[in-house]
Amino acid sequence: MTGLIALAAIGVVAWRVMTKEQRVEILRTIDVALSTLKEHGRQDLERFRAARRARTRWVIVTTTLAALNVAIFLLASGGKGGVTDPLPWGVSYGPVTSNGGWWRLVTAMFVNRHFLMLLINVGALVQVGLTLERLVGRPLFGAAFFAAGIFSGLAGLAISPKGIIASPAGAIWGLYGMLLVVAVPLWRRRSDLMIPIAGMEHLGGVAVIFALANLIDTSAGGAAQFAGLAAGIGFGLVATRDVTDVTTPARRVAIAGGVALAIAIACAVPLRGVLDVRPEIQRIVDVEHETAATYKTANDQFRKGRMTADTLADLIDRTIVPKLQAATARLDTLRGVPPEDMPLMADAREFLRLRSDSWRLRAQGLRLTAKSVRGARKSDSDSDMAFRQRAQAQYQSTLLTIGKADGAERASLEAFNRLQPPAPTPDH
């Protein structure tokens, strides 16, 4: 740093002591040098593009992949600026993908949620594809794209089992990784297919925009998209021996693709069966509403004298509590709960336990109420003191049981409130 400051200071002093003619001459020299470099860079770029076209005239795979991205976006968005459906067709959503929807790992590579991301992703795909498809050949290029996208999707599923991936970012990162590996031997051998400095500047500018946009975009999979970069580097190593002469032999492409597929299947096996807990939580909510409505109807009959306390208690023990027990038993059989949903499932179990206790105590309180009513009748053998003591003990026992039932009910409803999504905030 000190050396740079000293050099800058010397430059400033030298500039000040120069005459006007000397300054003009230096600026003219710099301008000529920059023009020469620019012209030389343009010639290198034209020579590279000519060699690229001579190798393969049409980039069919790149064009097809780009067209699929555009077509699926238009279908999903209805021609609007973005996809409004929270779970549009083709996206990879853990509970759906891992339960038989593995094809979504492929379709998710062609889903873009926003028009801006479509432009950035397709622009990056086309730019890198114009070079890479011609260097390594169509079969290897296509295999690398799909393998990188699949590995990126699997990494996203492992990192965030409930995450939604709707982006070709992982697959395009794979192409960048492959191009990086392929470009090194070309530079070392000074081949006509060597990417010139001007070409690298163009690639680098788009790559920076692509990287920043997809790191910000939540649907791109976050850090999981870099699994595609690793896959692309692996495929690049397959291609490096032949890239200066002919495209990679089909046999080697098939072997590389088969190995990638086997690794992907091995990675997918432990990720199977991610559970979407929302339907299970909603089932518990429905049970609570159903049992509360059943009790309310029966309690109205009890208050009108059309049902005894013992009958109401039997309804609780034989109808309401068994439904809660069945819901608890179902929760105990669930497997594949994502780690982020474990607290929610703990709240669900806590609610069912407290709610069952509150209903049992309610039934017990009702039976004690019925017993106290029957015991309020004084028999001929009871003394006044014995009758009052017995009535007071029954009354206190009833109050204690009803108080416990109320406490358990309040605690259970607090847990129940945690199960329900927050109410939407009204717009002002």
* Residues pairing with 93 in the sheet: 164
Residue 121 to residue 72: CA distance in whole angstroms: 14
Contacts with 227 (C-beta within 8 Å, 6 or more apart), sequence order: 148, 151, 152, 154, 155, 170
Contacts with 288 (C-beta within 8 Å, 6 or more apart), sequence order: 351, 355, 416
Altogether, the residues listed in the chain come to a count of 428
What is the mean pLDDT for each group of 10 consecutive residues in the chain (428 residues)?
58 65 65 49 63 75 94 79 74 89 92 90 92 86 93 91 88 92 73 66 84 86 88 82 59 85 91 86 89 87 81 87 91 86 87 84 75 52 48 50 65 71 43
User: Is the distance from CB of 153 to CB of 170 less than 8 angstroms?
Assistant: yes
User: Is the distance from CB of 355 to CB of 288 less than 8 angstroms?
Assistant: yes
Tokens of residue 117, six digits: 């991301």
The distance in angstroms from the start CA to the end CA of the chain is 54
Residue 22 to residue 25: CA distance in whole angstroms: 5
- Give the per-residue pLDDT at 149: 94
- Give the per-residue pLDDT at 303: 80
φ and ψ at residue 334, rounded to 5 degrees? -75, 140
Residue 344 to residue 281: CA distance in whole angstroms: 9
Architecture of domain 56-271: Up-down Bundle (1.20)
Taking the whole predicted model, whether its pTM rises above 0.75 is answered as no
- Give the per-residue pLDDT at 106: 93
Q: What's the one-letter identity of residue 273?
A: G
- Give the per-residue pLDDT at 11: 61
Residue keyed to tokens 């717009």: 427
Q: What's the one-letter identity of residue 9?
A: A
Nearest Cα neighbor of 367 from 317, 413, 326 is 317
pLDDT tens-digit map of 194-220: 676 666 777 788 889 999 998 888 887
- Give the per-residue pLDDT at 185: 73
User: Is the distance from CB of 224 to CB of 152 less than 8 angstroms?
Assistant: yes
- Give the per-residue pLDDT at 387: 41
- Give the per-residue pLDDT at 57: 77
Nearest Cα neighbor of 267 from 279, 276, 259, 275 is 259
User: Is the distance from CB of 130 to CB of 62 less than 8 angstroms?
Assistant: yes
* Residues pairing with 165 in the sheet: 92
Residue 135 to residue 189: CA distance in whole angstroms: 15
- Give the per-residue pLDDT at 104: 92
Query: Kindly report the CA angle at 65 between 62 and 69, in degrees rounded to 5?
Result: 135
User: Is the distance from CB of 155 to CB of 163 less than 8 angstroms?
Assistant: no
Nearest Cα neighbor of 397 from 374, 369, 377 is 369
- Give the per-residue pLDDT at 153: 92
Residue 406 to residue 227: CA distance in whole angstroms: 54
Residue 74 has a CB neighbour count (10 Å cut-off) of 12
Biggest alpha carbon–alpha carbon distance for the chain: 134
User: Is the distance from CB of 107 to CB of 183 less than 8 angstroms?
Assistant: no
Nearest Cα neighbor of 232 from 321, 118, 151, 311 is 151
Residue keyed to tokens 């358990």: 408
Residue 94 to residue 163: CA distance in whole angstroms: 6
Residue 80 to residue 374: CA distance in whole angstroms: 73
Domain assignments of the chain as residue spans, ordered by start: 56-271, 278-419
DSSP 275-342: ---HHHHHHHHHHHHHHHHHHHHHHHHHHTTSS-HHHHHHHIIIIIHHHHHHHHHHHHH-----GGGH
Q: What's the one-letter identity of residue 339?
A: P
Residue 139 to residue 45: CA distance in whole angstroms: 26
- Give the per-residue pLDDT at 376: 47
